Structure 1
């Protein structure tokens, strides 16, 4: 009795799939076999047209293999599938990766190439190659990074600014801003770097690893450091001057006003010594300097302090938050 072989095939790139940018709606003529044994049915004409090196020189060394009968696929436990794959079953010999279940002599043959990427990564690469949207898969930063790294290896262009992949990447900027910034910088997508840079303000520059620095390159690394250091210097400049003084009164002497200045400087030092001064919030400023107004009984001092805090909040809000 013939044994059964499980075949995992992409749910987008399967034999009879109608894919965009394919001349005359022709059927696939190439199988790509991933490192986790998922099969992608694609068109050599599309890969050759998009790639400047014959898809990493793999198209010139492809080998023929038998293709399974996929006219009536059998699904098994879809919850156990890798995202974007499904199982096919065909009877045949155990030493074949997949076998046509039709009678001998009726099997078609197709060329097959083997790649080192896993299916989740190749899936994004092929979506980019065919000009298809890939956001529905919700690829992680690791998957997007792997796909972007694979593109030049296969002679494929970096997706343009309007491609959905950058929007998908930016959705994860708050979770891992340095990684998103690095990927944007590595591919010179300036708008991605600008948007991600604001999220990096909550991350100390000491978290920038050597790998991050090399990925960003000197220009974007410099811009990131200038953003962080520039905001700290702006904070010092804006908060530096203490509240204005007023003429001595019976209720408030010069000694009292000197105490207000001393308290202001102490609050400033506390903010600057905080973990991430470049990310200082308006709430933090009000929390640090507000109590100074409550510490004096002089109404004139209270008014000067409140005016100063309002001025600081306004100026700080105008300081640039991105590269």
Structure 2
């Protein structure tokens, strides 16, 4: 197959380039039209050398990349798909062609991660990012090498953590990205562990599952210690300020409410202390807050 070098046509608007990784179809030679990536095109100058490898996605989008970069990124020669000769191709006619089974949106995210380029402008969905991580493992690309703080993969997964906290944590944990898992964990403080599926538990692994359980257990222990220790009431000096109720009644009501809250407390549960108290608790609240 003969391919010529073509850059994206000037008629493509910047808005189109930001919304999709695919540019306007270009003449691929011999009357063929090809869909070309707006980032990985022949004259993109992403490396000192010109592209010598074309990755063709399942939906036939062309990505012009560099054989030596993909060879370095992969520990299994990109699933044994890359040619053994990694010398840069000198002419367009000798470009290596690599057809993959993945859709262009996943290939686009994958290549951005490998090249260390942010793809936030494409707003990839969480499912696309997770799928790209799975593709990395398939093609022998160590995820931990590309998951450092500030790297595109780190930023992508962290950006989805507010909406998909447990799923993002599982991906980070299953990939050995400790810093990312730690950064995601604050979004899990209100997560109900009873909702954790076997699939996610297996993906994150025993070590990070134990850390997550310990995080919730430790927080509950601290909460129980705090609420089971009643606050110190003000001394009764005969003034009208103590007309609400005496200290003994207040402490009994506090102990009852605190015991109930300590028993029912769960991650993410709102403060039930005053919500579960009756009118006498309103008296306690005023008494202890004076």
With normalisation by structure 2, the TM-score equals 0.72
Change (3 A) 1:127 1:243: closer
Residue correspondence of structure 1 range 159-178 to structure 2 within 5 A:
159-162=146-149, 163-178=151-166
- How far apart in 2 are the matches of 1:243 and 1:50? 59
Residue correspondence of structure 1 range 113-124 to structure 2 within 5 A:
113-124=98-109
Residue correspondence of structure 1 range 120-199 to structure 2 within 5 A:
120-158=105-143, 159-162=146-149, 163-199=151-187
Change (3 A) 1:16 1:272: same
- How far apart in 2 are the matches of 1:271 and 1:150? 46
- How far apart in 2 are the matches of 1:291 and 1:250? 22
Residue of structure 1 in register with 2:250 after alignment? 260
| Greater Cα offset, 140-149 or 5-14 | 5-14
- How far apart in 2 are the matches of 1:38 and 1:269? 62
Residue of structure 1 in register with 2:12 after alignment? none
How many residues of Structure 1 are paired with residues of Structure 2 in the alignment?
249
Change (3 A) 1:137 1:250: closer
1:201 maps to 2:186: no
Structure 1: gaps of 5 or more residues: 63-106, 308-323
Displacement of 1:6 in angstroms is 5.0
Aligned partners of 1:170 and 1:196 also within 8 Å:
yes
**Which deviations, in whole Å up to 9, do the C-alpha atoms of 1:53-100 show, x marking residues without a partner?**
2211101399xxxxxxxxxxxxxxxxxxxxxxxxxxxxxxxxxxxxxx
- How far apart in 2 are the matches of 1:167 and 1:6? 35
- How far apart in 2 are the matches of 1:169 and 1:192? 8
**Which deviations, in whole Å up to 9, do the C-alpha atoms of 1:108-160 show, x marking residues without a partner?**
46332221221111111111222322222222221221222222322223204
Change (3 A) 1:43 1:265: same
1:230 maps to 2:230: no
Aligned partners of 1:169 and 1:180 also within 8 Å:
yes
Change (3 A) 1:7 1:285: farther
1:9 maps to 2:36: yes
Residue of structure 1 in register with 2:7 after alignment? none
Aligned equivalent of 2:267, options 278, 284, 291? 278
- How far apart in 1 are the matches of 2:142 and 2:177? 13
Change (3 A) 1:138 1:250: closer
Displacement of 1:33 in angstroms is 1.8
Displacement of 1:226 in angstroms is 0.8
- How far apart in 2 are the matches of 1:170 and 1:36? 28
**Which deviations, in whole Å up to 9, do the C-alpha atoms of 1:6-54 show, x marking residues without a partner?**
53221111233221xx34x32x222222122222122222222332222
- How far apart in 2 are the matches of 1:39 and 1:204? 44
Change (3 A) 1:286 1:172: farther
- How far apart in 2 are the matches of 1:291 and 1:201? 31
Q: Partner of 1:178: helix, strand, or coil? A: helix
Displacement of 1:287 in angstroms is 5.5
1:32 maps to 2:69: no
Displacement of 1:204 in angstroms is 0.3
Structure 2: gaps of 5 or more residues: 1-29, 86-91
Q: Partner of 1:238: helix, strand, or coil? A: helix
Larger radius of gyration: 1
Q: Partner of 2:55: helix, strand, or coil? A: strand
1:52 maps to 2:75: yes
